[in-house]
């Protein structure tokens, strides 16, 4: 399964959710890859730690090779790196990706990511983390994937952006990728006791938006997990949020939810 985690709003939990779901998938025996399309490199750093800058070639080099006329382009597998966690791999971002995107767009390289991932046969799960913008990399991801998972922070301002996003996904489906579907909207940093988030969730549900049942609460442990470059399932296996990430993974995979996890 190849899924993109995207919302054009910054800081809603794209990288946190991509990496923690990927870590759970790997922990459960699925061979899993995280593709970090964000030049901020947050997912790469989360999974590889401070050594990330010294990790070998990443997506910057991969896309650079796409721009040069070369007969011996390296296969994408050569840009995939092991993480310290068994079964979990990363195709890391580099900062130079930021400066490549105009050229990549102008040279119509939008299908190259899909072709590259098609050639990687040995992964059960691929999570694509995206930058907070509908840019070349995000479009490439939406063309390459079959599902998009949308983190949402229950902010009234984000609501309009959510409609726009669902419309953009529909356009990409129509124009380039008939396999693409919205897998669901996952509410992150949900405050069950506050009135506004609950009202927003109820309204969006009534409008027919595909809100997932599992909600993720807020916890300082998430920041600690980023600091220690260790996903929640390994750093805090018994924490409430870890259970929520596991419930989310189960929900995405069609496992029936227990009432107390939602």
Ligand X SMILES: Nc1ncnc2c1ncn2[C@@H]1O[C@H](COP(=O)(O)OP(=O)(O)OP(=O)(O)O)[C@@H](O)[C@H]1O
75 touches, from Mg ion, ligand X, none (C-beta below 5 to 8 Å by class): none
**Sole window of 12-20, 52-60, 157-165, 197-205 interacting with ligand X (rule: CB under 6 A):** 12-20
Does 109 contact Mg ion by CB under 5 A?
no
**Sole window of 34-42, 59-67, 108-116, 234-242 interacting with Mg ion (rule: CB under 5 A):** 34-42
Does 42 contact Mg ion by CB under 5 A?
yes
Subset of residues 125 to 144 that bind ligand X, contact rule: CB under 6 A: 132
Contact residues for 140 (Cβ-Cβ < 8 A; gap 6+): 37, 109, 110, 111, 112, 113, 114
Q: Which is nearer to ligand X, 207 or 224 (CB)?
A: 224
What the block records as the tokens of 76 is 């994408």
Subset of residues 66 to 125 that bind ligand X, contact rule: CB under 6 A: none
Among 8, 13, 11, 38, smallest CA distance to 161 is for 8
- 29-32 own/partner pairs: CB under 8 Å, 24+ apart: 29/87, 30/87, 30/124, 30/125, 31/87, 31/89, 31/122, 31/123, 31/124, 31/125, 32/87, 32/88, 32/89, 32/123, 32/124, 32/125, 32/126, 32/127
Q: Which is nearer to ligand X, 8 or 177 (CB)?
A: 8
Residues in the site for ligand X, rule: CB under 6 A?
Answer: 10-16, 38, 40, 42, 132, 188-189, 216, 218-219, 222-223, 226
Residues in the site for Mg ion, rule: CB under 5 A?
Answer: 14-15, 42
């Amino acid at each position: 399964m190849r899924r993109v985690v995207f919302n054009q709003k910054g800081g809603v939990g794209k990288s946190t959710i991509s990496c923690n779901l990927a870590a759970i998938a790997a922990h459960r025996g699925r061979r899993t890859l995280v593709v970090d399309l964000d030049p901020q490199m947050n997912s790469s750093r989360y999974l590889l730690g401070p050594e990330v800058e010294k990790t070998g070639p990443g997506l910057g080099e991969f896309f650079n090779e796409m721009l040069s006329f070369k007969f011996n382009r390296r296969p994408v597998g050569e840009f995939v790196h092991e993480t310290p966690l068994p079964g979990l791999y990363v195709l890391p971002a580099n900062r130079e990706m930021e400066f490549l995107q105009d050229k990549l767009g102008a040279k119509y390289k939008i299908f190259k990511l899909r072709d590259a991932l098609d050639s990687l046969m040995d992964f059960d799960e691929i999570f694509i983390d995206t930058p907070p913008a509908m840019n070349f990399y995000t479009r490439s991801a939406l063309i390459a994937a079959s599902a998009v998972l949308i983190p949402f922070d229950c902010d009234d301002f984000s609501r309009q952006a959510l409609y726009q996003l669902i419309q953009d996904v529909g356009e990409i489906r129509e124009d380039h990728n008939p396999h693409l579907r919205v897998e669901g909207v996952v509410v992150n940093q949900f405050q069950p006791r506050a009135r506004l988030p609950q009202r927003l969730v109820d309204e969006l549900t009534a409008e027919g938006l595909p809100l997932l049942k599992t909600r993720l609460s807020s916890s300082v442990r998430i920041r600690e997990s980023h600091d220690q470059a260790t996903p929640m399932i390994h750093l805090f296996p018994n924490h409430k949020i870890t259970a929520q990430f596991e419930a989310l993974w189960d929900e995405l995979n069609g496992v029936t939810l227990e009432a107390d996890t939602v």
